[in-house]
Structure 1
Amino acid sequence: MGWTWLLWLLVLLAVLALLVGLWMLVRLRALGRVVGSFSCAWRAPESQDWSSGVAVYGVERIDWFRMLSLRPGPAARWRRSELVIEPGRRVLPGSAWGAVEVECRVGRDCFYLALEGDALAGLTSWLESSPPVDRGAA
C-alpha cells in the first residue's frame, strides 16, 4: 500500500504530460489552418535566439503565436498602421526553408522576423494595401 500513491502519482503525471502535448498539437494544427497564417520566427535585437511561431493576418493587425506554448492567445500583436518593415533583408545561412531576415519596427521597438520569401511578399503587400489613415489634418 505504501507504493500505491507513487504509482498513482506517476500515472497522473503521464496523463498530464499527454494532455499538454495533445493541447499543443491541436493548437498548432488549428493555427496552421487559419486563412492568412504563415510560419514566422521572431527574435529581439539583442538576442541570437529565434522563437518559432505562426503569424496570422487580421484586418488591422497581425497576431503572432509561439510554436510551443500553452497560451491560447498571441504572444505578440502588431497593428498594421504602426508596423514598419525596414528596407534590406538577409538570407539566413543554413536555413532549410530559405528564410530571410527582416528588421521590423513598431514605434521605438525593434525586432526581427524570419520568414519565407513568399510570406515576406505577402506581408509587404498586406502592409501596402492598408486604407489611408485620417490623421486629423485640417
Structure 2
Amino acid sequence: MEIVAWVLIVLAVLAVLLAIWRLLTLRSRGSTILLRTLPASGVHGWRHGMIRYNGDDLEYFKLRSISPMADQVFTRQRLEFHEPRKMTPEEEGFMSEGLAIATLCDGGSHYELALDQHGLMALTAWIESAPHARQERIDHHRLRSRITRGQSGK
C-alpha cells in the first residue's frame, strides 16, 4: 500500500512539472488562439491554446494538455486559407474583443481559428510565403553525376 502511495505521488509531481514546463516554454514562443474543428454549430467546440511556427509546420498546443508534443500539426504546403469573418454575437460573449475568425483547410479537414489582427497578419504571411508545392530543390550531387556521366578520364 505504501508503494502505491509513493508511485501516485511521483506521478502527480511529474504531471505538475510537465504542465509547468509546457506553460513556460509555450508562453514565451507562441501566440494565443482559439481553435475548433468544423463542422461545428453555435459556439461549441472552441478550445483555447497556443500556436507556434516551426519551419513548414504550424503547431497547436491545447491549453489544458500536459503533453510535450503538439496536439495538432498543420503543414504549410497543404493549408488553404479563407477570408476571415467577424464574430457572431454569441461568440462575442466569451471571446476577447477584436478577434477575427479565419478558416483553414488541411487536406479534407476544416478548422476555424480565432486570433487577433497581429496573429492573423502573421498567419497570412506565413501561409502565403510558402514555396509552391511543385518547386523542387536542386540536388547538386545528382546533377553533377548526370552531367559527368560517360566522361571517363578525358
Q: How many residues align?
A: 129
| 3-state DSSP of counterpart to 1:81 | helix
Task: Specify the alignment match of 2:31 in structure 1.
Answer: 38
- The list of structure 1 runs, each at least 4 consecutive aligned residues, that deviate by more than 3 angstroms after superposition, is 8-19
What TM-score does the superposition give when structure 1 sets the normalisation length? 0.77
Q: How many angstroms does 1:23 deviate by?
A: 2.1
Q: Contact between 1:90 and 1:101, CA under 8 Å: does it hold in 2?
A: yes
RMSD over aligned Cα atoms = 2.4
What TM-score does the superposition give when structure 2 sets the normalisation length? 0.70
Q: How many angstroms does 1:63 deviate by?
A: 0.9
| 3-state DSSP of counterpart to 1:44 | strand
Task: Show structure 2 runs of 5+ residues with no match.
Answer: 137-154
> C-alpha separation between the residues in 2 aligned to 1:68 and 1:131?
34
- Determine what percentage of the aligned residue pairs are the same residue: 25
Task: Show structure 1 runs of 5+ residues with no match.
Answer: none
Task: Specify the alignment match of 1:108 in structure 2.
Answer: 108
> C-alpha separation between the residues in 1 aligned to 2:63 and 2:17?
14
Higher helix share: 2
Written as runs of structure 1 = structure 2, the 5 A alignment for 1:85-104 is 85-91=81-87, 92-94=91-93, 95-104=95-104
Higher Cα radius of gyration: 2
| 3-state DSSP of counterpart to 1:65 | strand
